């Protein structure tokens, strides 16, 4: 890819980031039952099934002490399960509990309505192309994210 096109792409990445974060409403506090950061953690766990504390921190880009604090809160709420790896007892694996999974699904539904109303300004064609593009963006980010976490492991 040409250098110039890459620069344009990165410019788009930079400028779309805050838009993405802000345009479609607040992250996800709503119930105030949980902090946005904790909600993100639950979403990652829902997508990726299981993480060690360290890898969860890498995904969320937060430091280890913060992972501990965050996971403690999620455990206190029963949203997450802690289990130590038997092969390497240093590792503590975190996964979603049934309660945590239900919580996310229920809350996301509430959040749906909020976003849905914002989408009403778009035509049917715009919705279609937005949908396809977003899927592509998501897949790409996921790929970058996974490549990134693997690199950090080595």
Partner DNA sequence: AATAATAGTTCTACTTTTGTAACTATTATA
Partner DNA sequence: TATAATAGTTACAAAAGTAGAACTATTATT
Is 116 a binding residue for a second copy by CB under 8 A? The answer is yes
Q: Is 66 in the site for a second copy (CB under 8 A)?
A: no
Contact between 61 and DNA by CB under 7 A: the answer reads yes
Alpha-helical segments (H) within 25-123: 36-48, 53-60, 64-76, 98-119
Q: Does 24 bind a second copy (CB under 8 A)?
A: yes
Spatial CA neighbour of 9 closest among 127, 137, 128, 135: 137
Q: Of 64-72, 77-85, 90-98, 113-121, which part binds a second copy (CB under 8 A)? A: 113-121
Among 32, 61, 86, 154, binds a second copy (CB under 8 A): 61
- The distance of closest approach from Cβ of residue 118 to a second copy in the complex, given in angstroms and rounded to an integer, is 5
Task: Give the dihedral of Cα atoms 119, 23, 62, 44; nearest 10 deg.
Answer: 0
Considering only 26, 99, 106, 153, the residue that binds a second copy (CB under 8 A) is 26
Q: Which residues are within 8 A (CB) of 49 and not within 5 positions of it... i.e. 6 or more apart?
A: 95, 96
Contact flag: residue 35 with DNA (CB under 7 A): yes
How far apart are the C-alpha atoms of 80 and 61, rounded to whole Å?
A: 19
Q: Does 19 bind DNA (CB under 7 A)?
A: no
Sheet of 80-84, strands arranged across: 50-52, 92-96, 80-84
Nearest residue to 92 (alpha-carbon basis) of 77, 74, 106, 107: 74
* Stretch of residues binding a second copy (CB under 8 A), selected from 66-74, 79-87, 90-98, 126-134: 126-134
Place of tokens 């399960």: 81
Of DNA, a second copy, none, which one sits near residue 69, judging by CB under 5 to 8 A according to partner kind? DNA
* Residues forming the site for DNA (CB under 7 A): 26, 29, 32, 35-38, 52-55, 60-69, 71-72, 87-93
């Amino acid at each position: 890819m040409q250098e110039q096109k890459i620069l344009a792409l990165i410019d788009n990445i930079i400028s779309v980031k805050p838009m993405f974060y802000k345009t479609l409403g607040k992250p996800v506090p709503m119930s105030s039952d949980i902090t946005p950061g904790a909600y993100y953690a639950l979403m990652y766990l829902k997508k990726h099934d299981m993480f060690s504390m360290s890898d969860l921190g890498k995904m969320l880009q937060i430091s280890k002490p913060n992972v501990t604090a965050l996971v403690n809160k999620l455990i206190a709420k029963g949203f997450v399960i802690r289990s130590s790896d038997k092969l390497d007892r240093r590792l503590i694996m975190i996964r979603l509990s049934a309660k945590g999974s239900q919580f996310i699904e229920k809350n996301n539904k509430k959040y749906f309505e909020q976003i849905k109303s914002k989408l009403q300004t778009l035509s049917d064609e715009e919705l279609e192309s937005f949908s396809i593009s977003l899927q592509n963006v998501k897949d790409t980010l996921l790929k970058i994210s996974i490549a990134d976490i693997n690199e950090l492991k080595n």
